[in-house]
Structure 1
Amino acid sequence: MKKTIYLMLALGFLNLNAFAQEINWVTFQEALELQKKTPKKIMMDVYTNWCGPCKMLDRNTFQKKEVADYVNEHYYAVKFNGEGNDVVNYKEKSFTNPNYNPANANRRNSAHDLARYLQISAYPTIVFFDDKGEVIAPIRGYQKPSQLELYLKMFKKDDHKNIKTQEEFNAYYKAFVSNFKD
């Protein structure tokens, strides 16, 4: 009886995941190359392997169909391990993690030089880049779908260029109507 229940639960879990929408993740290098052919903004999820809120962002936000559909249509999506050991070329510089310790791959590790360059001080952080690869803004912390939607749409439409003060952002935030369900 227990085996039957476990099997039913496992199949139910697999079926739910089969319908989960996937974001088309690419490397930062690939996104920068893709921008040359078809300009789009970049959304970079800077995460670490040990970060609980990073896993929640993946599970609760990025797996939502409306989020994934919007990101896939309007952005190049990048996953970047802020404590990983990838070599990344950006702005004619090569960024590495010279103090990376493979033994700490799933624990706290040294920050990657690109994460330092982007001034990442918390995980997760979502960094938005314009269609020429220039940083628009980093958004720190876990974002529910409705919270992320505000930034996705604001940066997509370049509304951020008209917001000069905290008061203007607060007004934009209050007027924003979310279509994404949390």
Structure 2
Amino acid sequence: MKKTIFILLIAVFTSVSINAQKINWVDFEQALALQKKNPKKIMMDVYTNWCGPCKMLDKNTFQNKEVVDYINEHYYAVKFNGEGDDVVDYKTNSFTNPNYNPANANRRNSAHELTRYLQVSAYPTIVFFDDKGDVIAPIRGYQKPSQLELYLKMFKQDHHKNIKTQEEFNAYYKAFVSNFKD
């Protein structure tokens, strides 16, 4: 009997993990190339290996079905290690991390040149790009699904273009009704 229950539990957990929604992550250069064929905005998760809130964002927000479905439909999603050693070509520049130390791969390391270029000063930061690959805004810190929803929809619908002041953003924020469950 115990063996049967154990096998059933394994089957259930395996089924849950197989059926779990996943964001279709691509690298930044792929996202920029995809934009040329099918214009969409880009959402870049700038993280580090050592960052606790980054892991929470992955576990809680980027596993949320509503978040996953919305991002996959309306954005190209990019994961970028803000202290990694990738070479990234963007806007006629090649960005590297010349001070990267492989011994610190899972600890604090040197910030990547692209991280600095995008003005990322905290992890996690989600950087939004328009459908031409230009930066819209970096959003710093951990975001629950309902918090991220505001930015996903605001940038997707270009509402940010009509917001010129902090007061206008505050009014937009107060009027926004979230449909995503945390």
Query: Equivalent residue for 2:172?
Result: 172
Q: Return the letter of the residue paired with 1:140.
A: R
Query: Equivalent residue for 1:25?
Result: 25
Q: Return the letter of the residue paired with 2:131.
A: D
Output one character per residue of 1:22-79: Cα deviation in whole Å (capped at 9) or x when no partner.
0000000000001111110000000001111101101100111110110011000000
Query: Equivalent residue for 1:59?
Result: 59
Q: Secondary structure at the match of 1:21?
A: coil
CA contact (8 A) 1:47 1:125 kept: yes
Query: Equivalent residue for 2:141?
Result: 141
Output one character per residue of 1:86-118: Cα deviation in whole Å (capped at 9) or x when no partner.
000001000000010111111111100000101
TM-score w.r.t. structure 2 length? 0.94
Counterpart CA distance in 2 for 1:45 and 1:154 is 17
1:118 aligns with 2:121: no
Output one character per residue of 1:128-178: Cα deviation in whole Å (capped at 9) or x when no partner.
000000000000000000000000000000000000111111110011011
Q: What is the root-mean-square deviation of aligned Cα atoms in Å?
A: 1.7
Structure 2 unmatched runs, 5+: none
Counterpart CA distance in 2 for 1:174 and 1:130 is 24
TM-score w.r.t. structure 1 length? 0.94
Q: Return the letter of the residue paired with 1:149.
A: E
1:161 aligns with 2:153: no
Query: Equivalent residue for 1:108?
Result: 108
Query: Equivalent residue for 1:84?
Result: 84
Counterpart CA distance in 2 for 1:2 and 1:104 is 45
* Cα shift at 1:14: 3.3
* Cα shift at 1:19: 2.5
Query: Equivalent residue for 2:39?
Result: 39
Counterpart CA distance in 1 for 2:49 and 2:8 is 30
Structure 1 unmatched runs, 5+: none
**Number of matched pairs:** 182
Q: Return the letter of the residue paired with 1:43.
A: M
